[in-house]
Structure 1
């Protein structure tokens, strides 16, 4: 039994040995056959194989095709590094070759070809020749030197990519005034040859002044390119305004900047020179509108591949700089050339000229922009100014604000912290947000009510006093108003800003017609405007839920929230026979209005409401009478919105609104102004905003008062 088992095992082992030997032999046979097959390849087939490896960036396989002498001339590592640096450096892709001629003689061959490839500087096409040498056992192998890459490329030559940086476009206002563009700042740096030998203490002093570690300064000074007379830039700061400094009343910040720079110059080796930067002339008054740029980050480069950003490029972060980034940035020029060991250019392989960024001209009037900012700079406010007949946006202001130039010059941690810790939220862009509109919304309720036929403009809603509720189902909730008058008809309700009238009007219109009317006026929709803004809403849910909410919505309370630009657009219907004009920001030499919402109300309804809004200003009882001018007709509506935690909250705040427009389309400077200011409680409510806007209008529209 044991003998049979031993015989079986022996037989099995022998069989396995024979089988493995057979497999090994077969493998060897096929390997030999493969080598014989490869050795029989013609030079043209071998070259096309080489090009295929090149197109896949398989430089190791390319090296394996070289003859023995070529591999002695250059190591595999150097071969791979040279090819990788060149082809990746020029952004090579789409590599193809067309063989023109093959000559074979005495064991040598020459393959003539035309190669083409795409690069960051455009297409590169050249004629070249590759040589092959035939070995008895190996067949043809490539004879390689640097000229295989490009015909004129020598062993010590380099392929250089020269970048001609595109100039960023500028942003101008309607009158050609610069809003964003080239400016001059001061570059603070060190000249090593002028520093003291023992400069450790000086670097500590300089670091404290500039808000940067001394070690960081040392690192900059240790760069390989630096010589004794080099200027090593450390930080960019605001340039001293010499004209302002020599004026009768120089600005405090300018005086402090001069003192700061004088202190810097006491440190041996410090030099302050002019440098070109992105500049925002309006500063705080235009920061939320114009925005700012910053240097790209690694995340930016990853997010925007193949968009021609360099490591030292800038990118728009907010405002117009971000909105028109593609138009402003331009396209860098590139030249790919062969340079000798001394750096002299031998041959240009491809060149693409730069395309500078496009200039953008806005409809903005920077003088008006600054006047609005000055009027409201101490407030938390948002203002939009439009031409009500063309849709041109003349100003967009949010206060408090910040200086967008600080982002260019390198904002200190202290400044950044102060902006973010400020309770007034200077970085918060209010003209993009939405707020409770209060009584400034009443003309919208009036337009919907007249359109649906729910409101009879001559119906007297009765004398209710200063508070009213529909019935006992409302519990202790009453709608209150500030003025007692008679008769309670539509026109008087506008003049006296009667909350009770518009609460009753909303109930007459009804849930569905009221919400449908608002939907047709762009609520819960994107505003068709260059800048993305918050959608206006009439409820925190999908619909108005209760009678009380509906009544409150009628006079701009409840859960009603409106964006100021949207509200301004809706007011254009009263100046344009019921058509809502689309707002826009890019300047047109011959502006033509574009209707956003045609027939939002009929011409007759628009005329009726416009007339009533005119009396809000002209009547001595009107809530907007503070803006009255004898030389022209103004029409508008005030609004005071209560912001409180609950109906019983007595410590809430108030938002003040004023929407006002000129009614004469032939006026040289027609304007529609919508302003919202927070925290106007105990400061006059909407009357506070009326006084501010009155001053703005008197400055913007010359003539009698």
Structure 2
């Protein structure tokens, strides 16, 4: 009896061992194919090879397998892969049906296959392995087939001004090449290469490295540097050297150069970081992409989609099938409201300065000019700026790479019309009432300690009009206190303070103070004449002034040409009567002999406007840095409103360094 129970127990234990060997802990064919898929999605062909059956591995070595499929997938620019495993009707469960979608340079490739799996024992362990066929990862492909990619280039969309004149266009550049077999020998070779290095601003080591590339032969054209096709003198000097040639090559061209550089921005070769930031969007390591300005902002619209076709051929090169194809698609052209003549005129006045200017049509909102100075030539970045040239731009104390028209800063007295409008809206002042002001400095009471508000004009009795054309700081400091901090802060929001401007370009928000509040009387008083913590970007200032010709509403800015009727951004921020009153007062800033912008007067072209000279200093009473501001517009059928800022005018009369520049732009625009 005991022996019989022992035999039964042994048989039961053996059965359990057998069951455990075939049980749920062992991967199924489907489980193994899922693991293979993970490596496939990473294009990890080395790991994929480990999943191949012994028979498959005998037919192709690991190095040949990895080399072939890496080259194929690289050539078709294989990207994201999605694999869906379908339900199998295989009773033995030796095949795994799946559907795959692979992103490529020619668009998505979709195919369905069955993966044949076989069980093998390796290292005393049973598992499933894949019976390899190339069609598993590319439909229709066999072992001897080749893959070709035919491309048809498309064109990037161009950027033009309101009259169709190009600001960013497709053109040609000049590539300087070396033909190694035609270089002189010995000392003459060294002399030639050193001369070329100096001419092109390319380090000699870089030239030597280019010549040592594995593909270079005696008759090869070895690119050294691409230069502007219009630089005829440089091209002539370079190509006069033995063995040096010029090749025309497609390039992005910025014909307005420095004048529109910060506006248009530039394109550049995509970096590894940008390629990672734009996955599965069709970019490759050879793509160009918008890097700054409008080129970056409108990248999706401007970007071209090159056409491509992936063709499968047999070993002899005969075409077997087209795996995927995509038609070329040109980028969308963009037409701006910018007027190139205005843009260039503004820049010509600022090119020797550090400053910025904006110009709009105050009745339509069309932005006619956006300029930042000093500037740079965007063509240099497209063609490949040298490290030395880039470092020079970066280290320049005037900061030519800084876009100033998007920035915000203290507006000084150009802010006073805003303060006047708020005061009149709250009936905090009577515009006709003269206010007695004694001397050149004032403080509310002794609680202000050593702090005083100062003014340059000593007129003892001042009403609103006189305070505007004389630019009386004390009058507007007192006016701000009459308005009150709560009303002043609340009304600033009605004018768009704290908001982004309603255009597709990133401008710094204008702010009344750091926290949007006016916590102290001195801060409130200083804010009344555009100091304190007030910060306004120049385009926003132009929009505020547009209310004086639009019955109290701020025009909505437009950067892109449109058939739509002009719209208001902020409606009825002041009454039509207030707008008209301030408008008439601003005319006196220029027409009155005591006006601060009297030097901007143009015979036959009446203007209205306001000057400003914000000060930046550590302590009251000390000398410090100043910026000059001037906002002006023509009054008869207003078509042009300019806000210009010139930095560091402390030794040049403050705003008087700006008024002649704005005057010159008006004279050119209206032929006066």
Pairwise TM-score range, normalised by the shorter structure: 0.7 to 0.9
Matched, 1:74 2:43: no
Matched, 1:634 2:607: yes
Which residue matches 2:3?
A: none
- Alpha carbons of structure 1 residues 383 and 30: separation in structure 2 relative to 1, 3 Å: same
Q: Deviations over 1:298-328 (max 9, x none)?
A: 1111222222221121222221111112221
Q: Deviations over 1:253-287 (max 9, x none)?
A: xxxxx1x4444335321112322211111111111
Within 2, Cα distance between the matches of 1:573 and 1:133?
A: 80
Q: Secondary structure at the match of 1:692?
A: helix
CA contact (8 A) 1:362 1:586 kept: yes
Q: CA deviation at 1:191?
A: 1.1
Worse overlay, 289-298 or 478-487 = 478-487
Which residue matches 1:657?
A: 629
Work out which of the residue numbers 207, 210, 225 in structure 2 matches 1:220: 210
Within 2, Cα distance between the matches of 1:551 and 1:202?
A: 69
| TM-score normalized by the length of structure 1 | 0.82
Q: CA deviation at 1:368?
A: 0.8
Within 2, Cα distance between the matches of 1:293 and 1:23?
A: 75
Work out which of the residue numbers 503, 511, 527 in structure 1 matches 2:485: 511
CA contact (8 A) 1:617 1:628 kept: yes
Which residue matches 2:656?
A: 687
User: Any gaps of 5 or more consecutive residues in structure 2?
Assistant: 1-6, 121-125
Q: Secondary structure at the match of 2:509?
A: coil
Which residue matches 2:18?
A: 29
Q: Deviations over 1:178-236 (max 9, x none)?
A: 11122332211111231235445543443344344444333323434434332111111
CA contact (8 A) 1:101 1:112 kept: no
Q: Deviations over 1:343-364 (max 9, x none)?
A: 5543211112232221111111
Within 2, Cα distance between the matches of 1:183 and 1:346?
A: 37
Within 2, Cα distance between the matches of 1:494 and 1:422?
A: 38
Work out which of the residue numbers 643, 656, 673 in structure 1 matches 2:616: 643
1:446-465 aligned at under 5 Å gives the runs: 446-465=420-439
1:345-360 aligned at under 5 Å gives the runs: 345-360=319-334
Matched, 1:307 2:281: yes
Matched, 1:678 2:647: yes
Within 1, Cα distance between the matches of 2:80 and 2:612?
A: 63
Matched, 1:613 2:586: yes
1:231-246 aligned at under 5 Å gives the runs: 231-240=221-230
- Alpha carbons of structure 1 residues 482 and 214: separation in structure 2 relative to 1, 3 Å: closer
Within 2, Cα distance between the matches of 1:618 and 1:80?
A: 81
CA contact (8 A) 2:202 2:386 kept: no
- Alpha carbons of structure 1 residues 65 and 538: separation in structure 2 relative to 1, 3 Å: closer
Worse overlay, 463-472 or 570-579 = 463-472
CA RMSD, Structure 1 to Structure 2 (Å) = 3.8
Within 2, Cα distance between the matches of 1:214 and 1:454?
A: 72
CA contact (8 A) 1:480 1:500 kept: yes
Which residue matches 1:6?
A: none
1:119-268 aligned at under 5 Å gives the runs: 119-120=103-104, 121-124=106-109, 145-146=133-134, 152-198=140-186, 199-200=189-190, 202-240=192-230, 258=233, 260-268=234-242
Within 2, Cα distance between the matches of 1:60 and 1:231?
A: 36
Within 1, Cα distance between the matches of 2:518 and 2:94?
A: 84
Within 1, Cα distance between the matches of 2:262 and 2:327?
A: 34
Within 2, Cα distance between the matches of 1:64 and 1:410?
A: 44
Q: CA deviation at 1:698?
A: 0.8
In our comparison, the structure showing a higher alpha carbon Rg is 1
User: Any gaps of 5 or more consecutive residues in structure 1?
Assistant: 1-17, 39-44, 243-257
Worse overlay, 517-526 or 126-135 = 126-135
Work out which of the residue numbers 109, 117, 122 in structure 1 matches 2:101: 117
- Alpha carbons of structure 1 residues 227 and 448: separation in structure 2 relative to 1, 3 Å: same
Within 2, Cα distance between the matches of 1:681 and 1:506?
A: 26
Q: CA deviation at 1:545?
A: 3.3
- Alpha carbons of structure 1 residues 473 and 73: separation in structure 2 relative to 1, 3 Å: closer
CA contact (8 A) 2:438 2:460 kept: no
Which residue matches 2:509?
A: 535
Worse overlay, 66-75 or 353-362 = 66-75
Q: Secondary structure at the match of 1:369?
A: helix
| TM-score normalized by the length of structure 2 | 0.86
- Alpha carbons of structure 1 residues 438 and 56: separation in structure 2 relative to 1, 3 Å: closer
CA contact (8 A) 1:114 1:125 kept: no
Work out which of the residue numbers 575, 596, 603 in structure 1 matches 2:576: 603
Which residue matches 1:467?
A: 441
Q: Deviations over 1:616-655 (max 9, x none)?
A: 22323322233334434322111122222210212x1321
Q: Secondary structure at the match of 2:331?
A: coil
